[in-house]
Structure 1
C-alpha cells in the first residue's frame, strides 16, 4: 500500500484522483486546498488529514518523512494550472514521486526546471495523459500504424464543453492562471494527436478569445483542423439540450465520436504509473510546446481548406 497526499483537493478533478488512489488499493494520508469544500473525502478516505494552509500541509508532510513507516510515497497535484510547477517541485523535494493533472506546466522552460529538480531529488513527476488509455484512441492509433497510405489523414477535431458564467469568475477564466482555453481544455487533445499521428510540423492559429479557439496543425501523418469551445451555443443541434459536452474526431470524413469511455481513465493512469509505465516530462514536452506556440501565435487567415468548419459560425 502506497501513501498519497493530494494538493488541490477541492477542485473539479480531485475526486477522480481520490477514487484512483482508493481503487488501486492505496491510502490518501493528507490533503490540502485553500477551499474547505472537500466533504467527498468522507466517502473515500475519512482518516485523511486536511489543511487549508500550504505551510501546515508541507510541515506535516515533512514530519511524516522522518519515519519510513509514515513517509509519503506520492503527491498528487490538482491545483490551478499556474501553481503546478511550484507544487510539483515541493512534492519532489519531500522525497515523493508526483502525479500531476494536465497541463503539466505552461512552457518548455518550466519543463526544464522540473527536470533539474528531478535530478536534484532523485524522484519523478508523471503527467495524467488519460486519452492515451482511451480504447477508441488506441484503436485509431493501431489503424494509423498498420495503414500503408502515402497520403496524410484529413482530421477534424471538435471539442465543446459548456461552461456557465462561474467559469470566467474563477481562476479558469483568467489567462494568467489557466493560460487560456487552448491550454486549459485542449492540451491533452494535442497530446492525443501527437500520440496518434507523430511529430508536429506546422502550427497555425485562426481564432482565439476567452471562450473558444481554432486552428490548423500538421503532423507527420495528418492534417488537423481543430476547434475548442466552452460556449454552449457552439454545440451541434443534435446535442443541444441533451448533453453539455461534445467530443468528435473525423478521420478522412469518418466520424469517431468519443464522448463516452472517460470514467475510469484516471484509475488506469494510476495503475500504469504504479507499474512504472507512467508518462513523464519527455512524454509531456510535445503538447506543452504545442500550446506554448498557440498562446503566442498571431492569428492567421485560414488558407485553402485549412479552416475548421465551425470558423464560419464565429461571425455571428
Structure 2
C-alpha cells in the first residue's frame, strides 16, 4: 500500500523526541518534509529522515503533496498553522494546548469539518496503560461511586527539555500564552475528563509565577475542580519539581483508591476498602527524564484514524474541552472567584 506523506512543522524537542521518531517508526508513514524557522534545525531533521527542509510552512504546504501534518510549534502558532494545513487538504495532529482561546479552537474545528479532514490534539496521557486500566475499572464499577481525586504534573521546567533551553519560547508570554498550565496542566485536565468520563462545571485556581525568573508566564498552579457528577478534586501543574518529575494521579472512590503512576514499580495500585490490594505492572508513562522514553501511541493512533477513516480519540472538540478547563483556571485566578 502507498505510505502516507507526512510533514512535521517545527523541529524542536517535541518533534525530535516524539513526532519524528514515532512517524519514522510507523510502517505506513513516509516523512517527506520538515520545517523550522531555524534553518540548521530543519536541515538536521531533513538529513536524518530523508526529507526536504523548509523554513516557511506556507511554502511547504504550497509545494509538497502532503497527506498529513504534525504541528509542533509554539502555542500561539498552533491554530493558524493547523488551519492553513487543513485548508491545504492535510489531516492535522496538533500539539497541546490546541489553541490560545476558545475562538481559535472553534476555527480549527470548523476548518477540519469544512475540509473533511481529521484534527487530533496530542494529549498522550489517554494512551498510558495505567490510565486506560483505571478508566476500565471505574466504568466496571470496581471503585464504586467516585468522590474525589488529585492529579499532578510537575518537573524542573522546559529549560531542561526545550531545544532553546532557558531562552525557550515557553517563557515568552506572547508565544506561549500560558506556562506550566499549558505545558502540563492541560494534559491532566484532559486525563481526568477521560478517566472519569465526566466534565468540569466549576473551577477555582491559584496561578503564580514563583520559581522562574525573567518570565511572565505561570510556573505554579493549583486548581480545584468540580464535575457535573459532583466529583471534586485538585490539579497541580508545576515547573518547580526540581529533584524529580511527578506525573501521578490518585482517585478516591466508594470501594477503592486507585493510585496511577504513584509508585516507581507498579503503574497502578488499587487499594480496596475490604483490605485487598491489587498491583499492576504495566508499560510505563512517557517521561522527559533520562531513561524514561517510551512511545506515546499518539502518532500510531493518528495514522490509524486516517487509514481507517475513524474519528481520533482526542478530536478538536475534545481538545477544546480540555483547553476550556485551563482557560477557566486562568480566569478564576485573575478574578479571584469560582468560574462556572
TM-score > 0.5, shorter chain as reference? yes
Distance 1:269 1:222 in 2: 30
Distance 1:122 1:82, change over 3 A: same
Distance 2:220 2:20 in 1: 30
Aligned to 1:227: 236
Aligned to 1:203: 203
Secondary structure of 1:114's counterpart equals helix
Correspondence 1:18 to 2:20: yes
Aligned match of 1:33 in 17, 36, 39?
Answer: 36
Distance 1:114 1:213, change over 3 A: same
Aligned to 1:77: 71
Distance 1:159 1:147, change over 3 A: same
Alignment gaps of 5+ in structure 1? 65-70, 234-239, 304-316
Aligned to 1:123: 117
* 1:236-271 per-position Cα deviation (integer Å, ceiling 9, x unaligned): xxxx3xxx4121112225532268332111344334
Aligned match of 1:273 in 297, 305, 323?
Answer: 305
| 2:105–2:316 contact (8 Å) kept in structure 1 | yes
| 1:180–1:295 contact (8 Å) kept in structure 2 | no
Q: How far is the alpha carbon of 1:122 from its aligned partner?
A: 3.0
The runs of at least 4 aligned residues of structure 1 exceeding 6 Å deviation read 299-303
Q: How far is the alpha carbon of 1:79 from its aligned partner?
A: 0.5
Aligned to 1:261: 285
Distance 1:22 1:167 in 2: 25
Give the TM-score of the pair, scaled to structure 1: 0.80
Correspondence 1:42 to 2:47: yes
| 1:152–1:223 contact (8 Å) kept in structure 2 | no
Alignment gaps of 5+ in structure 2? 210-217, 265-283, 287-293
Secondary structure of 2:12's counterpart equals coil
| 1:78–1:101 contact (8 Å) kept in structure 2 | yes
Number of aligned positions between the proteins = 283
Distance 1:169 1:297, change over 3 A: farther
Q: RMSD of aligned C-alpha atoms?
A: 2.6
Distance 1:108 1:207, change over 3 A: closer
| 2:87–2:115 contact (8 Å) kept in structure 1 | yes
Distance 1:116 1:151, change over 3 A: closer
